[in-house]
Each structure stands twice: as structure tokens, then as C-alpha cells.
Chain A
Amino acid sequence: AAGVIQSPRHLIKEKRETATLKCYPIPRHDTVYWYQQGPGQDPQFLISFYEKMQSDKGSIPDRFSAQQFSDYHSELNMSSLELGDSALYFCASSFGGNTEAFFGQGTRLTVV
């Protein structure tokens, strides 16, 4: 069965650079969630989208922005990167907001 696809899987950026992470949800899923997981930490909710509109917002820095496109894929844009942004970034998708969320394999971002 098709899963959530994230790209790239690994990304190395320098401080103050910009990064774009992409998420392709499971076919027919219309809701996308972004989570950040630091080393040895639990995933922290960043932001979610339903039908291309932002549906909820968590602890997402102002330097980050995200959107969901007409084909339901989503992109997380991260600017002015800091060392502390190094983490695993997961995308999850669901059909509507009331069903199980399935996670992608994540993007490991390293800021040097």
C-alpha cells in the first residue's frame, strides 16, 4: 500500500540558509500534519492543513512556513536556519481530521 512520501530523506544546510521539505500524502488523504523530533525526544506538532487550508498550529517558529497545494502535497519552508533546527521532520497524513494519521519516514535535517 502507498505510504506517505517525504523528500529529501537527508539534508545538510549551513546556518542562516533556507530549506524546503516536501511531503506527499497517501492517495485520497486530504489532511497533512508536520512534526519535529529532536534527538531522543518525542515528536512535537508544528502545523496541519486540511483541504489546502491551515487547520491547526503548534510550536512552529515564525521562520518556518508551510502550505498545502491543490494536489494535497505539502511543503515546509524553513529560513534563517539555526543549529537547533537540526532534527527529524515528519509528515503525517489522514483522511479528514477524525481518522488515523500515518507518518512518513521523515527528513533528517542537519544544520552546520
Chain B
Amino acid sequence: GENVEQHPSTLSVQEGDSAVIKCTYSDSASNYFPWYKQELGKGPQLIIDIRSNVGEKKDQRIAVTLNKTAKHFSLHITETQPEDSAVYFCAASRDTGFQKLVFGTGTRLLVSP
């Protein structure tokens, strides 16, 4: 089955800096890669996703890159703000129906003012 590894487990940055979170996956059949932000006591919130036919996707301060050959995808947050502080999860699934997301272990991002 799919296995998703995520690094780092914690990340502390200063406000305005960039943050990068990296994930690797094992199942070459996976082709859908969402990123979720989870604040304390809340459910995961989808912030951006990418499919395997795209190498990069950007939405304002957030971007995701995908390298299918290396089975590697990354989340980039620019101009970080204190409200970006949360736990971020990457995930992977086979987008062939009834997606069953396999999550990474999460990255706790702390943005200091």
C-alpha cells in the first residue's frame, strides 16, 4: 500500500519568511496530492492540491510542486503570517475513484511575529 513520508515534523520561521514542507510517496499509481491545514480542535482544511499531469500549481502565497519521477512533492508558503501557524498534512491517493487519502505525519508550522 501507499506510504507517505513528510518532513520536517516541526518548522519555525519568522513572519515574512518562506516555509517549505516536503513529502515523498511510495505508490507510483498515486496521482492526486492534496495539502491540508489543521488548526487546533478543527478538521483538516484543503488548501491546495495537485494532480499528476501538472508539475506546479500556485494560489496566491501558496504553491505546490510535484516530481513524479522522484515521487516527491512540496508545499511552499511565501510571506508567512502568524495565522499560517498550524499543522500541515500532505496526502496521496489514486484518483481513480473513491479516493482513500493516505496522509503524511504532519508538520507543525510556527510563524513568529
Per-residue interface assignment for chain A, residues 73 to 91, with 1 indicating a CB less than 8 Å from any chain B CB and 0 otherwise: 0000000000000000010
The reply on A68 being an interface residue by CB < 8 A is no
Contacts of B49 in A (CB 8 A): 100
The segment from B36-44, B53-61, B71-79 that touches chain A is B36-44
Size of the A side of the interface (Cβ < 8 Å), in residues, is 26
CA gap between A104 and B44 in the complex, in Å: 8
Residues of A within 8 A of B43 (CB): 4, 90, 103-106
State the majority secondary structure of interface residues on B.
Answer: loop
Contact check, A50 vs B98: say whether CB atoms are below 8 A apart: yes
A4, B45: Cα distance in complex, Å: 11
B105 interfacial by beta-carbon distance below 8 Å: yes
Chain B: interface residue total (CB-CB under 8 A):
21
Is A42 a contact partner of B89 (Cβ separation < 8 A)? yes
User: Restricting to B83-113, which residues have a CB under 8 Å from any CB of A?
Assistant: 89, 95-106
Chain B min CB distance to A42 (Å):
4
Contacts of B100 in A (CB 8 A): 33, 45, 48, 56, 58
A70 CB within 8 Å of chain B? no
22 sampled A-B residue pairs with Cβ under 8 A = A33-B101, A35-B101, A42-B105, A43-B103, A44-B103, A45-B102, A48-B100, A50-B98, A55-B97, A56-B100, A90-B43, A90-B44, A97-B97, A97-B99, A100-B46, A100-B49, A101-B34, A103-B44, A103-B45, A103-B46, A104-B43, A105-B43
